[in-house]
Chain A
Amino acid sequence: MTTTMIEIDNLYKRFGDLEVLKGIDLSVSQGEVTVIMGPSGSGKSTLLRCINRLEEITSGTVTVDGYDVTDPETNINFVRTEAGMVFQQFNLFPHMTALGNVTLGPLKVRKMERGEAEKLGLDLLKKVGLSDKANVYPDHLSGGQKQRVAIARSLALKPKVMLFDEPTSALDPELVGEVLEVMKQLGREGMTMVVVTHEMNFAREVADRVIFMDEGIIIEEDAPEAIFSNPRHERTKSFLGKVI
């Protein structure tokens, strides 16, 4: 039995005259880890941001856990707690400690008691290996630590899906591993994840499928091993050639 967590149907997205997504169909099952690759400007971030409606959708439908994201009746703030998002630039709140960042959602969105929220926050910081950084401000954290706090901040809402937009590409190479490790762990625990990344090893180890996008459409999708060793499309081939 598989349940569908994300269902995207004929999604179009335009910025003014620029058509960025040109009819995307994608279905993600519960527990599935999907990696999205593709050249710069192909619309990967935009696709991700349409899932939690950080971008307004031009046409088509997107549902998350059965909630229609485009329906004005849908409480979008609720949907956003169901689909956590991790950004390339971390976007931690600089005026709050690591724990403050993680507990803001539980306190203000979930209306949790402070004690309960802090317990949850500390548990999550422990999970991402940052128990000792609870009271540290983002300015005093390394990039890898910031990104792990950002992951904990999203997890604090107990989302059913996690969206990652190039979570390691702003990091120094030696810090990439610690963030990927946390993400792999999440994947193994059964979290549904959609990850835009060019980390082949991550894709090989945890992805159920890799999607290759170019110019606003999905060019091909397959199991990681299959797509890496035997890409069918010319554009996938040349892109993978550059990345590897």
Chain B
Amino acid sequence: MGSGFDFKVSVMWESVPILLTGMKLTIIITVLGLVSGFILGTVFGLMKISRNLFFRKLGGFYVESIRGTPLMVQVMFIYFGLPLAIGMRVPPMLAGVTAIGVNSGAYIAEIVRGAFQSIERGQTEAGRSIGLTHLQTLYYVIWPQALKRMIPPLGNQFIISLKDTSLLVVVGVGELTRTGQEIIAANFRAFEVWLTVAVMYFVMTMSIAKVLNVIERKLEI
């Protein structure tokens, strides 16, 4: 090509082993982040439908403030801002997991709320009418049904959060995007390396989508 661009597949192959270590970290951060996000999301999602006004407001505040600000700003705040207030360095990995957890938690809270509210009132009434307490009804009757309805949107959130981890490049966590950047700093092959990185993200998101499909078919959602 006139500009002197010569595409080398070999560069792609050579970058794969190092990129795989980054990919591993991406998966670890995503999984840890989503587990935290699921716990946060369940707690705050239930707060949003609680009968207690204070809890409802608190749940609403969390969800709105996270959904109303960019993830990038949240990451910067946790990594660069928070340490000044608590007088302690936050390790990049912890900052990354926290950011993904807090961020996905807000979206998962809405998923949880929606799933709980979608269960017919008659289910609660049937549970209460056989003498179950309010909490027992939530746990034995509503939760299992809500969980099933949450699977498709949770899978979607999984894909979103996985892609979001690439923003952690700013705090220097050696995940996939960061690893790609480092390779390019050494070999200047931006085209091949970013293409490889993109393919690796794509493989991960497609795999999640496929697994999700199988689960949905099995559970007849």
Which A residues from 116 to 172 make CB contacts under 8 A with B? 150, 153-154, 156-157
In the complex the two chains form, is A92's CB within 8 Å of B126's CB? yes
In the complex the two chains form, is B130's CB within 8 Å of A105's CB? yes
B-chain residues with CB within 8 Å of residue A81 when the two chains form the complex: 130-131
Task: Give complex CA distance A153, B141 in Å.
Answer: 14
**Residue interface mask A68-84, B partner, CB < 8 A = 1:** 00000000011011001
Q: Given A78-B131, A81-B131, A154-B130, are A93 and B141 neighbors across the interface (CB < 8 Å)?
A: yes
Residues of A whose CB lies within 8 Å of any CB of B are: 52, 54, 77-78, 80-81, 84-85, 87, 89, 91-95, 104-105, 108-109, 150, 153-154, 156-157
In the complex the two chains form, is A87's CB within 8 Å of B131's CB? no
Q: Does B64 contact A (CB under 8 A)?
A: no
Most buried by B among A87, A92, A93, A150: A93
Task: Give complex CA distance A91, B124 in Å.
Answer: 9
In chain B, what residue has the closest Cβ to A89?
Answer: B122
In the complex the two chains form, is B132's CB within 8 Å of A77's CB? yes
Task: Give complex CA distance A85, B129 in Å.
Answer: 6
B-chain residues with CB within 8 Å of residue A89 when the two chains form the complex: 122
B-chain residues with CB within 8 Å of residue A91 when the two chains form the complex: 120, 122-123, 125-126
In chain B, what residue has the closest Cβ to A81?
Answer: B131
- Which 9 pairs, one residue from A and one from B, show the smallest C-beta to C-beta distance? A91-B126, A81-B131, A91-B122, A105-B130, A109-B131, A85-B129, A80-B131, A77-B131, A95-B144
Task: Give complex CA distance A162, B188 in Å.
Answer: 79
Residues of B whose CB lies within 8 Å of any CB of A are: 120, 122-123, 125-133, 136, 140-141, 144-145, 148
Q: Given A87-B122, A91-B122, A94-B145, are A108 and B140 neighbors across the interface (CB < 8 Å)?
A: yes
Looking at the assembled complex, report how far the CB atom of B198 sits from the nearest CB atom of chain A, in whole angstroms: 40
In the complex the two chains form, is A157's CB within 8 Å of B126's CB? no
B-chain residues with CB within 8 Å of residue A78 when the two chains form the complex: 131
Task: Give complex CA distance A154, B126 in Å.
Answer: 9
In the complex the two chains form, is B130's CB within 8 Å of A54's CB? no
User: Quick one: which of B123, B131, B144 contacts A105, CB cutoff 8 A?
Assistant: B131
A selection of 22 A-B contacts at a CB cut-off of 8 Å is A54-B125, A54-B129, A77-B132, A78-B131, A80-B131, A81-B131, A85-B125, A87-B125, A91-B125, A92-B126, A93-B126, A93-B127, A93-B141, A93-B145, A94-B145, A95-B144, A95-B148, A104-B140, A105-B130, A105-B131, A109-B136, A156-B130
Q: How many A-B residue pairs have CB under 8 A?
A: 59
In chain A, what residue has the closest Cβ to B144?
Answer: A95
Q: Given A87-B122, A89-B122, A91-B123, are A104 and B130 neighbors across the interface (CB < 8 Å)?
A: yes
Beyond contacts A80-B128, A84-B129, A150-B126: 16 other A-B pairs, Cβ-Cβ < 8 A, are A52-B129, A80-B130, A80-B131, A81-B131, A85-B129, A93-B123, A93-B126, A95-B145, A104-B140, A105-B130, A108-B136, A109-B131, A109-B136, A154-B130, A156-B130, A157-B131
Looking at the assembled complex, report how far the CB atom of A111 sits from the nearest CB atom of chain B, in whole angstroms: 11
Task: Give complex CA distance A244, B145 in Å.
Answer: 41
A-chain residues with CB within 8 Å of residue B140 when the two chains form the complex: 104, 108
Looking at the assembled complex, report how far the CB atom of B9 sits from the nearest CB atom of chain A, in whole angstroms: 51
A-chain residues with CB within 8 Å of residue B144 when the two chains form the complex: 95
B-chain residues with CB within 8 Å of residue A92 when the two chains form the complex: 126
B-chain residues with CB within 8 Å of residue A153 when the two chains form the complex: 126, 130
Q: Given A87-B126, A89-B122, A92-B126, are A108 and B132 neighbors across the interface (CB < 8 Å)?
A: yes
Looking at the assembled complex, report how far the CB atom of B144 sits from the nearest CB atom of chain A, in whole angstroms: 5
Looking at the assembled complex, report how far the CB atom of B188 sits from the nearest CB atom of chain A, in whole angstroms: 57
Task: Give complex CA distance A126, B126 in Å.
Answer: 22
User: Quick one: which of A54, A94, A104, A157 contacts B128, CB cutoff 8 A?
Assistant: A54
A-chain residues with CB within 8 Å of residue B132 when the two chains form the complex: 77, 104-105, 108-109
Looking at the assembled complex, report how far the CB atom of A174 sits from the nearest CB atom of chain B, in whole angstroms: 24
A-chain residues with CB within 8 Å of residue B148 when the two chains form the complex: 95
Task: Give complex CA distance A58, B136 in Å.
Answer: 27
